[in-house]
Amino acid sequence: MKKLMNVSVLIGSVLLLAACENDKFEEDLPVVKDNVSFALDIQPILSAECAGCHNPANVEPDLRKGYAYASLMEGDEEGIIPGDSEGSELMEMLQRESEDGNNMPPSTPLSPLKIALIKKWIDEGALDN
Ligand code: HEC
């Protein structure tokens, strides 16, 4: 009987550990509201953090208001995959995991909240909403 208890304590601890690991991962990015809006939530981030470099006088894609959506969606097919933030290269770039070293913005990363909003917007279908 004692042995059986030890085994259940062991299994319990393993399950608890597994749950903690998972929590830790989930904590990486804050939870954001549903129905993220491109116009209200995403464009202001792009205008403030990206359009200084991403404009016609500088580098593509053009991320200014009025141009960013089309310009982001017509680019690299893997760049944004609607509904699949995990597969979207843009998320790798924002999370400093870009394979070609194209982390964006190049110097200071976006705040976790801004990254979470963009991730949610992609997972909700990357709509022009
Ligand atoms: C300080 C200037 C600067 C800022 C700020 C900046 N970028 Fe960039 N970005 C660049 C440059 C330069 C390139 C071209 C890199 C290359 O082709 O090697 C680039 C390339 C890109 C590309 C295309 C990558 C490819 O594979 O062709 C995307 C998408 C991008 N940036 C998104 C963003 C986003 C989103 C932001 C804001 C969160 C941002 N960038 C902020 C300078 C900047």
In our burial notation (b when 16+ CB lie closer than 10 A, e otherwise), range 85-112 reads beebbbbbbbbeeeeeeeebeeeeebee
| Best CA proximity match to 88, nearest among 77, 79, 97 | 79
Token pair recorded at residue 128: 């022009």
Task: Specify the residue with its C-alpha closest to ligand 1, atom 42.
Answer: 53
Per-residue pLDDT of the chain (129 residues; tens, 9 = 90+): 566 556 555 555 555 555 544 444 445 899 999 999 999 999 999 999 999 999 999 999 999 999 999 999 997 778 999 999 999 999 999 999 998 889 999 999 999 999 999 999 999 999 999
Choose which residue among 60, 102, 107, 114 to substitute to test ligand 1 binding: the one with the highest number of ligand atoms within 8 A of its C-beta.
102
Most distant pair of Cα atoms in the chain: their distance: 76
CB 61 within 8 A of CB 71: yes
- Is 104's C-beta closer than 6 angstroms to any atom of ligand 1? yes
